[in-house]
Structure 1
């Protein structure tokens, strides 16, 4: 994994969190500000409406005291020419229009009196109402323009109830109402303009603030982290020459300082370990040389010991027939000293000569076997193992013909050729079969099989007899030279030793399985 990918993902996550947080913060701030600004505009409009209504009532006070409706209408019409004033009229307490900026409305009764004269107009209004500053306001939609209607009660004062022109009862609280309609379009336009400005400024901050914060993070967080990750990756690849530059004194600077200290300790540890390795290699080299020298001495001693044991065994094995030869030679000399040999003496001489011949052949056989095993040269060639086995069996069949021994051969077809010394392979076959024949004094069966083990790429030879078997205590020693389990005195004890040596010269292996009274099985594996 590229370490820089982690930095990019962290920076992206930080950017998303900051952008979303700033966006929601500014949206909440905008909503609060817009609501607050709208309230300020409305409060200002209400204050202005109250001031204008008070000014109108004070300017009309003398005309109303004199009941001069003509002058009142002229004043209302003059005031109504202002663009912001859409409605301006005066009601009496019965809901009749007494004066208006629109002359046609004078005399109309716009409210039916169903309740007290003092409150039916206020309670008749069905729009949203707002009572403040001793006046009533409500919104009226007319032809797509929103008008805020203001109703100001005209209070009964002592000079009104005592005036001669149109005296009112002192108990009457409300004499009438001033109704003024103010256009809110300009107010709405101002509010909309302010909203757009606030939103534009907020949008600008939403775009700029995350960008500025990301630039700061990139410079003071991402770059140091990137350098740390690159250095860590180099250390993972074994490069310890990658110190991190310390550009700040904050937490990342402390991290870089700790990283450099760790790197210095790693370099020191590596140098120390390399020194230990060199010292260890030097010691291992010295010990190896000492072991090789000791091994060579042991091998030489083993060779000398083996040579001594072999010489002693050979001397013992050859000394026996030679001693017999000497004895029989002395007896023959004594017989020859006689002037005349009787027929019985002649028979004894012939018998002794036969024994001497047998003992001489035994010496020759021992020497022949040793010479055959000691030959280091091998005539390796590609051979058909089936032909070698069949040729060996055909030779041995003559020895089994009169001994009631059945020799069975089972060779798989299409066995691949193997590289071997055919003479030595035939020798081991002959030795194993000869041993099997000697293990069947009362007759029996000898089974020989050959097959190719494809999985292991090996040739498998199996020699099985149902003869007397080999005692269990003899099995560990049967491949030792001059060791024999036969007690007839005719076995030299070197046949299996030769078989074992030839098989290992061919990089093969031999296994034996035997039980006394149940027969013996030799299994040979040769590379194919």
Structure 2
């Protein structure tokens, strides 16, 4: 716009100079003023003013009585008027605010193009016959042409408005395009990746991302990498599953082997307990057998006599009844030993714990009597039905009672009692007044091969076997001991549920 204004101003200034050239050369003031007035009537020119070499106003086309025009005498408002334009060259200046120069302030802000064209002292002027100027003078005066820029400003404003509207429209379209492009090329693929990740997190290992031909290269690369990662995860999962199955199989086999070894240990411990009971059982069977032998001989002698009176017959019958009772007692003792030595049956069965404890107490009565131990049973639990392997429970109780009998000394006492700590469990307590267990040894007494007994008096498997049996029955075992005062082993077992 400035380039166009400069070009137009140059043309107008050149035109005015050529129009006034002959009038000024002939010093024809009348013709000069007429030409200036004629130029002033041209469209696009507000006024034309002429200044002398001292920048004093010589002529202006503005009527002095007009109040709607600016003050033509620029030096009246601008003391530096001579410095505002070039002195010897045509110069231009756009005046943005003319309110100080407007005679009527209500006109407001008006933009004008000011063109100052200097009137130079050409040789034709200094040598003319009509009037001669001093050849040393360079500038004789100047012409000041004022051109209004209202139309151009209006066009510029409209163009600017249209430009900003167009820019806004283009910006909106660009934003919409970017949103649609981002949504289709970035957001949707990312959402698909998120959905696939969530599906994988929930266990769907077969989900894969769909690769579209119009995808961005980066998103396509990410999709390929994601699918490859899922393939690797699936392969790793299958491999881990195979390893898990193999490990599970090996663990199952090892568990079976450990179970078999545990059962063998139970049998070994049972045989060891039978060995400890063998001496007392031999005495227990020897006494009734001796009585049976004596009474059998007496019956034989009485039957050998021919004269059998009713009194003798009654005596023989009493001998036979004694033989029967002693024989039954021997049978019961042997039956108890046989039951205890029998291998465990497969699976558990519902049994009353008091019956199992009664059989165990019956089996231990004579050894306790021989050892001069006061043996007391207090089976006071209201509920005693449990799901168990009877022989294992009997063996666990037997092992604890044997340890208790070996721990007591003179005036020994062993108490077996039962109680219900709650509605779902039964507790067995074995209490003795023996030597007790040192506090530092209590954490280790259930470990295999740990023993507090004297050397060559046990291998330390008894309580370890007891602990394994109790755990196998989903129970708990605990011990409390005061040295030289009292030791109590407690076993808590769950009651049987229908």
Scaled to the shorter chain, the TM-score interval is 0.5 to 0.7
Q: Where does residue 111 of structure 2 map in the other structure?
A: 146
Q: 1:101 to 1:233 in 2, by over 3 A?
A: same
Equivalent-residue separation in structure 1 for 2:231 and 2:474 (angstroms): 55
Indicate the residue corresponding to 1:125 in structure 2.
81
Q: Which runs of 5+ in 2 are unaligned?
A: 66-70, 303-321, 341-348, 355-373, 386-396, 446-452, 454-466
CA gap 1:220/1:153 in 2 versus in 1, 3 angstroms: same
Displacement after TM superposition at 1:283 (Å): 7.7
Partners in 2 of 1:378 and 1:331 — Cα distance? Answer: 44
> Is contact 2:48–2:61 with CA below 8 Å preserved after alignment?
yes
Q: Contact conserved, 1:244 with 1:260, CA < 8 A, in 2?
A: no
Match runs of 1:60-71 below 5 Å: 60-71=20-31
Of 167, 184, 207, which residue of structure 1 is paired with 2:132?
A: 167
Instruction: State the aligned residue count.
Output: 387
How far apart are the structure 2 equivalents of 1:280 and 1:311?
44
Are 2:158 and 1:202 aligned? Answer: no
Report what 2:206 is aligned to: 240
1:130: Cα distance to partner?
Answer: 7.4
Match of 1:420 in 2: 384
Distance 1:470 1:364, change over 3 A: farther
Contact 2:429 2:491 (8 Å CA) reproduced: yes
Shift of 1:521: 4.4
How big is the shift at 1:155?
Answer: 0.9
Shift of 1:174: 1.6
Equivalent of residue 183 in structure 1, options 141, 148, 172: 148
Report the CA distance between 1:209 and its aligned residue.
2.0
Partner in structure 1 of residue 91 of structure 2: 135
Partner SS, residue 152 of structure 1 = strand
TM-score, length basis structure 1 = 0.53
Task: Report if the CA contact (8 A) 1:161-1:168 is conserved.
Answer: yes
- State the distance in 2 between where 1:130 and 1:449 align: 129
- Change in CA separation of 1:90 and 1:299 when aligned onto 2, cut-off 3 Å: closer
> Are 1:447 and 1:463, in contact at CA under 8 Å, matched by a contact in 2?
yes
Residue 517 of structure 1: how far off its partner (Å) = 4.7
Tell me, in whole angstroms, the C-alpha distance in 2 between the residues paired with 1:452 and 1:290.
Answer: 34
Cα distance change of structure 1 residues 300 and 73 upon mapping to structure 2, 3 Å threshold = closer
1:11-39 Cα shifts (integer Å, max 9, x gaps): xxxxxxxxxxxxxxxxxxxxxxxxxxxxx
Distance 2:49 2:188 in 1: 74
1:9-28 map, 5 Å: none
**Is the CA contact (8 Å cut-off) linking 1:130 and 1:137 kept in structure 2?**
no
2:164 and 2:86 mapped to 1: Cα distance?
A: 29
Q: Residue 317 of structure 1 aligns with which residue?
A: 283
Q: Which residue of 2 aligns with 1:14?
A: none
Aligned to 1:15: none
Give the distance between the partners of 1:122 and 1:60, measured in 2 at CA: 27
Q: Please tell me the root mean square deviation across aligned C-alpha atoms, in Å.
A: 6.2
Judge which range, 507-516 or 186-195, deviates more. Answer: 507-516
Which of 212, 219, 224 lines up with 1:252 in the alignment? Answer: 219
Separation in 2, partners of 1:306, 1:266: 56
* Cα gap change, 1:81 to 1:313, in 2 (>3 Å): farther
Alignment of 1:73-472 (within 5 A): 73-102=33-62, 104=64, 110=73, 124-125=80-81, 133-135=89-91, 137=93, 139=95, 141=98, 142=102, 143-144=107-108, 145-236=110-201, 237-240=203-206, 242=208, 244-247=210-213, 250-265=217-232, 287=253, 316-322=282-288, 325=291, 364=329, 367=332, 418-420=382-384, 469-470=434-435
Distance 1:268 1:55, change over 3 A: same
Change (3 A) 1:509 1:326: farther
Which whole-Å deviations, capped at 9, do the CAs of 1:242-291 have from their partners, x for residues lacking one? 35334258343344444445555555555666666677777888x58985
Q: CA deviation at 1:190?
A: 2.3
Contact 2:85 2:91 in 1 (8 A): no
Of stretches 320-329 and 135-144 in structure 1, the one that deviates more from structure 2 is: 320-329
CA distance in 2, matches of 1:365, 1:513: 38
Give the match for residue 17 of structure 2. Answer: 57
* TM-score, length of structure 2 as denominator length: 0.56
Q: 1:449 and 1:321 mapped to 2: Cα distance?
A: 30
Q: Do 1:156 and 1:175's aligned partners in 2 also have CA atoms closer than 8 Å?
A: yes
| Contact 1:148-1:181 at 8 Å conserved across structures | yes
Deviation of 1:183 after TM superposition, in Å, equals 0.7
User: Structure 1, residues 95-129: CA drift from partner, whole Å, max 9, x if none?
Assistant: 45433323659xx994889xxxxxxx996329966
